[in-house]
Amino acid sequence: MNTAETKPHATTISPYGRLVSMPIHSENIFHFPAGIPAFENVKQFLFVMRPATQPFVFMQALEPADLSFVCIDPFLVYPGYNPRISEADASFLHVEKPEDFILFSIVTVHKDARNTTCNLQAPIAINLQACVGKQVICENQNFPIRHRIWDALSRQDDAEPNVVLEGAVAAAL
Amino acid sequence: MLILTRKSEESVVIGHNIEVRILGIRGDQISLGFSAPRDISIYRKEVYDAIQQENRQAAGNETNAVESMVRRLGGGQGKPDGTPA
């Protein structure tokens, strides 16, 4: 229920590249009408952020509950990232203006953390207003499916404080 | 699998609102044109397959691995330079 008492926390993501205020709380279920490739039947996800795992974000399926993806703000690890969202995808997501949606990149965690990669060719786009999401495929741009992120994240240790996350929603689980 | 033979400039219709037209044939390459509702996405199959494969590999419950990675990066609740918080 979206009553005044359960007002969403404002979650701020990524001081690098851009600043997004994301209203997310335990009842923020995002609908993925097409699922995501290989998991086409999984239609609902929560985005969970924990202080101990920032700047990573967990994209957690409602069903099956043990299905979860690690995500990261792609702009954090790939400066100049500028994927084009097709008209078909914008229409699917009911996006009318760029501020309506944000992007996450799915992370493939490797045993050797230095080889951990994220998928820049197919970011997760979510419409914050409509709570709709889709993994969009930027087919004609040469963004890698496996972009190593360790070096970019290491470099940021010397920069300003890491991503600011307020109102973490660990309680969602 | 349904098999139809088409010539250049001929089409097939899928359902009532998707049309696939043979635009041209050059050697072993065929140009296809698609007319479909705005919210239908059309991909090259090998690209979709590659995304599927990467998603399967990324799926899991990696909370512990991520926590340990964040600690090594000096993020989370530790200090940026790796010294104990």
CB–CB contact B70 A56 (8 Å): yes
- Chain B residues within 8 A of A153 when measuring between CB atoms: 73, 75
Check residue A124 and give its pLDDT.
Answer: 95
Check residue A27 and give its pLDDT.
Answer: 55
Place of tokens 């086409």: A40
CA neighbours closer than 13 Å in the CB half-sphere of residue A63: 3
For residue B66, give the nearest of A53, A87, A139 by CB distance: A53
Domain CATH for A125: 2.30.290.10
Residue A22 domain boundaries: 4-172
Mean pLDDT by 10 residues, chain A (173 residues): 38 37 60 96 88 85 90 90 86 82 92 93 90 91 93 68 35 29
Poorest-confidence range of A51-55, B51-55, B72-76?
Answer: B72-76
| ipTM attached to this prediction | 0.77
CB–CB contact A53 B76 (8 Å): yes
- The mean of the pLDDT values for chain B is 86
CB–CB contact B63 A58 (8 Å): yes
Reported as a single tens digit per residue, the pLDDT across B27-39 is 999 999 999 998 7
A-to-B residue pairs, Cβ atoms closer than 8 angstroms:
110
Check residue A51 and give its pLDDT.
Answer: 76
A157 touches chain B (CB under 8 A): yes
DSSP category for residue A26: T
- Chain A residues within 8 A of B51 when measuring between CB atoms: 37-38, 119, 121-122, 135, 137, 145
Residue B40 domain boundaries: 11-71
Residue B3 lies inside a defined structural domain of this protein: no
DSSP category for residue A121: S
Residue B16 lies inside a defined structural domain of this protein: yes
Q: Under 8 Å CB-to-CB from A167, ≥6 apart: which residues? A: A9, A10, A11, A24, A25
Q: φ and ψ at A103, to 5 degrees? A: -120, 140
Can you tell me the mean pLDDT for B43-60? 95
Number of structural domains chain B divides into: 1
Check residue B75 and give its pLDDT.
Answer: 64
Check residue B79 and give its pLDDT.
Answer: 41
Strands A147-148, A132-135: pairing kind: unpaired
